Amino acid sequence: MRTAVVDLPEPVRALAARLGADGSFKRVRLKQSGSMSAGRGKPWMRFSATETIDLTTVMFDWRARIGPLSALTVVDRLSSDETRSELRFLGVVPLSRPPPDQDALRKGQTLRYLAEIAWAPDAILRNASLHWETKGALIRVSSPGHSRPWCVELELDEEGRIRRATADGRPCMEKGKFIERPWQGRFWDYRERQSRWIPFRGEVAWIIDGIPSKVWEGTITEWEACG
């Protein structure tokens, strides 16, 4: 049975309407292809990925194949009881140690979920754990953190759709430890799927010394809402 969030600010409800969301789905499944880098000055690698995004809770599962013969798998996962970011060989053998600060990892993954609402617009209406407010022309969405809410600001394009998602401080792994840096995701090439308007291209960058340093660029190859 569909349960929609009822206490949304009017600009947020209008955004959901422009994106075609009606709260009738529980999850989104998508496929991506593109290139990614571990950071500034690091080599770029092609990837293909699948992702499931939950629309009722702050939860996602992203798995990408990279490297020669796609022998390496990157797993990023967030749920109520698990936060994961790891590299595996042949999808099984771990090649990376667990990040040293699980709280920082959870913050980073939560901010990613909030930004990816562009790919999962029904979460605006279905995920009651999110808090929405407006800040001038921007829309701010947040999720409870340990000491204060973790927040992403959404900037809209000329059509009133999500163009950019930014966070003042997302934990970035550098030299074996997390450092908070400004971060952004950009979205464009909107296409209609299942009556939803979804951006089929995007990129992600850390902001270093005021300059975007791109680390991910990708194209949606398949998108499906279900549940």
The mean pLDDT value of the chain amounts to 92
Other CB atoms within 10 A of residue 13 CB: 17
| For residues 105-126, average pLDDT | 97
β-sheet bridge partners, residue 211: 208
Do the domain assignments include residue 45? yes
Catalogue the E-assigned strands of the chain: 27-37, 44-54, 60-66, 72-78, 83-89, 93-94, 131-135, 138-143, 150-156, 162-174, 177-193, 196-208, 211-226
Do the domain assignments include residue 44? yes
Do the domain assignments include residue 69? yes
Q: Are 113 and 58 in contact (CB under 8 A)?
A: yes
Radius of gyration of the chain (CA): 17
| Domains: count for the chain | 1
**Gap between the Cα atoms of 60 and 45, Å rounded:** 23
| For residues 218-223, average pLDDT | 98
Domain range for 192? 10-226
Nearest to 193 by CA among 7, 19, 74: 19
Q: What percent of the chain is modeled with pLDDT above 70? A: 93
pLDDT band at 131 (very low <50, low <70, confident <90, very high): very high
Do the domain assignments include residue 3? no
Residue 6 is predicted with a pLDDT of: 65
Do the domain assignments include residue 22? yes
**CB burial of residue 70 (10 Å; 0-12, 13-18, 19+):** middle
β-sheet bridge partners, residue 36: 45, 216
Alpha helices in the chain (DSSP H): 10-18, 102-115, 123-126
Do the domain assignments include residue 81? yes
Do the domain assignments include residue 210? yes
CA dist 67 → 15, 36, 72, 131, 163 (Å): 38, 11, 6, 39, 30
**Which CATH number does the domain housing residue 94 bear?**
2.50.20
pLDDT band at 56 (very low <50, low <70, confident <90, very high): very high
Backbone angles phi, psi at 42, to 5 degrees: -90, 155
**Helix (H, G, I), strand (E, B), or coil: what is residue 113?**
helix
Do the domain assignments include residue 1? no
| For residues 36-47, average pLDDT | 87
**Gap between the Cα atoms of 218 and 113, Å rounded:** 16
Hunting for tokens 């496929």 — which residue is that? 31
Please calculate the CA angle 59-128-144 and round it to the nearest 5 degrees. 65
Per-residue pLDDT tens over the stretch 164-197: 999 999 999 888 889 999 999 999 999 999 999 9
| For residues 49-71, average pLDDT | 92
